Structure 1
Amino acid sequence: MRIEVVHGDVTEQRVDAIVNAANSSLLGGGGVDGAIHRRGGPEILAECRALRAAKYGRGLPTGQAVATTAGRLPARWVIHTVGPVYSGTEDRAGLLHDCYRNALRVADELGAATVAFPLVSAGVYGWPVEDAIRRALGTLRATPSTVDMSRLVLFDPGTLPYAERVLADL
């Protein structure tokens, strides 16, 4: 799988699937989750509500992933994954790795060839950005997948040089 790192807005990526750093309710929120729901439109929320009613009554568990339509986004699907809240006293790195692995698994099931990822858990969930970048890129590189290209989309342009160095070292 080819891996790219870019500065930009994940909601503007023209790919088969856009990954959403969702909250467990699947009903929208702030950050990436809110942006995806706003730009994608009510179709995404309708499918998320149906998922809650059918399978995820208590919400999507941390580290898991599930797909919906992408609505008005320039993609076919949104793959929702719930990242862990960072803790300085408890190792939650496995859950963060699960977000990327499970999103790729869902992408494989959908037949997606191209996937755009935000930096999961590095916003309001407080994961240190440089560590989140290393874990994201390392997990994407190490996870077997039929996806042709994964793109890590960084909202902060200042993080791009670091991500490019990490990717070059993988």
Structure 2
Amino acid sequence: MARLPILTWPDPRLATPCAPVADEDVAGLASDMLETMYAAPGRGLAAPQVGVLKRLFVMDITWKEGTPAPRIIINPQILWRSDSTATGPEGCLSIPGVTTDITRATQIRMSWTDQNGQGHTEIMTGFAAICAQHEYDHLDGLVTFDRLSPDLRAATEAAYLETIAT
């Protein structure tokens, strides 16, 4: 396993929609992504964040509480989002030091394939749903800035760019 460099915004690859994973073996990439995510330390990491423009992300929402439960999510599809939403702070490993309040569905139904080729469909709630939607956004070329109002986005981007310039 190897730690991978995490791209930071405004790298144009973070704004590029990803291609589906075809028949290629992504087990090594997924393993490296998990190692990178844990070291960062984060709870999710999408392939475009490490420069691979494929529809793949990893997440583990419980490891910081001491119970690791890593997931490898290949070619996910969000099939349904609840009308119920929640707004809360989200950080992103590709926008270090920035936390923004994002509104997301509190429940989703998502299907995906795991590293063994096994298909899954699950209703996710709470933080699992929020984390999965965040990582799914990356696969569509979106970052948290894209979820902000134009005025708030401009101010948040400006503050971030000023921080990284120093």
User: Shared topology, TM-score over 0.5?
Assistant: no
Which one has a larger percent strand, Structure 1 or Structure 2?
2
Please classify the TM superposition score into its range, dividing by the shorter chain length: under 0.3
TM-score normalised according to structure 1 size: 0.25
TM-score normalised according to structure 2 size: 0.26
The structure with more radius of gyration = 2
Indicate the structure whose relative CO is greater, using CA pairs within 8 Å and at least 6 residues apart: 1
Which one has a larger percent helix, Structure 1 or Structure 2?
1
